[in-house]
Amino acid sequence: MEPAAPRAFPPIEAGALLATVTALVIGVGTLIGWAAGSLKAGLIIGLVLGLPSGVFTVYRRYRGSL
């Protein structure tokens, strides 16, 4: 048996995954901040955690493609 060929790197899928995960984490952080009484602090924490989370998710998903 031959090993499966690696998938080609689809930039549109990687961009969509990056945007989705980043927006999801920012939204969750904002909701937690809103529930805690500080919308701005939740938004900032969501941004700080969301960007690296999105990049890490894309890296983990497509690490073997390049």
Give the side-chain half-sphere CA count within 13 A for 10. 7
Which residues are CB-contacts of 18 (< 8 A; sequence separation ≥ 6)? 54, 55, 57, 58
Whole-prediction pTM value?
A: 0.82
With cut-offs at 50, 70 and 90, classify the pLDDT of residue 6: low
pLDDT at 54 > cutoff 90:
yes
In angstroms, the CA 39 to CA 26 distance is 11
Percent of the chain with pLDDT strictly greater than 70: 91
